[in-house]
Amino acid sequence: MTNTQPSSIMLPVMEHFYTLQGEGYHQGRAAYFIRLGGCDVGCVWCDVKDSWDADKHEKLEVESLKLKVGETQAGIVVVTGGEPLMHNLDELTTVLREAGLKTHIETSGAHPLSGTWDWICLSPKKFKAPLEDIIPLAHELKIVIFNRSDLGWAEKYAARVAPTCKLYLQPEWDKAEKITPVIVEYIKGNPKWTLSLQVHKYIHVP
């Protein structure tokens, strides 16, 4: 007998909103963002530290999230955090994909992969390394550059992702004025990389 009961899976959601993707390969495209609460990576320069404690955030059913997305013209849903893979995302992506939506995730890769994804943006952090089995699955590698030494660290991951993976260097926002020229010169000498800017912060959208 087929179970027709609605989903009871609930996830801690810090915020969800329709905007433009501000970073990386899909920059400028309309997307619905679901920012999940909970993170144990602990980046000192994190700009969403309020997301770290999952218990601080309202738990929403995945069906209600799908309905919220459906109120917009979004064709892409980006699941981010916090660290979204602290939660099992199988049902969320199933529900979204059944609604005809593309599923994207932005993750440090520090927890096992769950969910079915059209696009995986891996942004590894020094504070908690990504799991080995996630690295070759990344469609996009986005390294946040805080110090010049991070460039060498970025190369170690560039050597481990799939040959088709898109490579991005992104200045840490608070140090962007100083570190962006360093990144520009580095990319000129290493053109496999592309500059990623947090455009949403420049145009003042979420």
pLDDT at 20 over 90: yes
CA distance 106 to 119: 9
Site of tokens 């799939």:
162
Q: What is the strand order of the sheet 102-107 is part of? A: 59-61, 10-20, 30-36, 76-80, 102-107, 119-122, 140-145, 166-171, 193-195
Question: Looking at the domain 10-202, which fold is it?
Answer: TIM Barrel (3.20.20)
- Quick check: 53 and 38 in contact, CB under 8 A? yes
Percent of the chain with pLDDT over 70: 96
What is the rounded average pLDDT of the residues 33-39?
Answer: 95
Residue 8 pLDDT class (50, 70, 90 cuts):
low
Site of tokens 């909103």:
17
Q: Which amino acid would we find at residue 5?
A: Q
Average model confidence (pLDDT) for the chain? 93
pLDDT at 6 over 70: no
Pair of tokens at residue 128: 């908690």
Q: Can you give the pLDDT at residue 2?
A: 45
What is the rounded average pLDDT of the residues 75-98?
Answer: 97
Residue 3 pLDDT class (50, 70, 90 cuts):
very low
pLDDT in tens, 97-135: 999 999 999 999 999 999 999 999 999 998 899 999 999
- Quick check: 37 and 80 in contact, CB under 8 A? no
| Residues 114, 109, 49, 184, Cα dihedral to 10° | -130
**Domain residue ranges in the chain:** 10-202
pLDDT in tens, 153-203: 999 999 999 999 999 999 999 999 999 999 999 999 999 999 999 999 888
Of residues 92, 11, 90, the one with CA closest to residue 54: 11
Residue 79 burial class via C-beta count within 10 angstroms: exposed 0-12, middle 13-18, buried 19 and up: buried
pLDDT at 54 over 50: yes
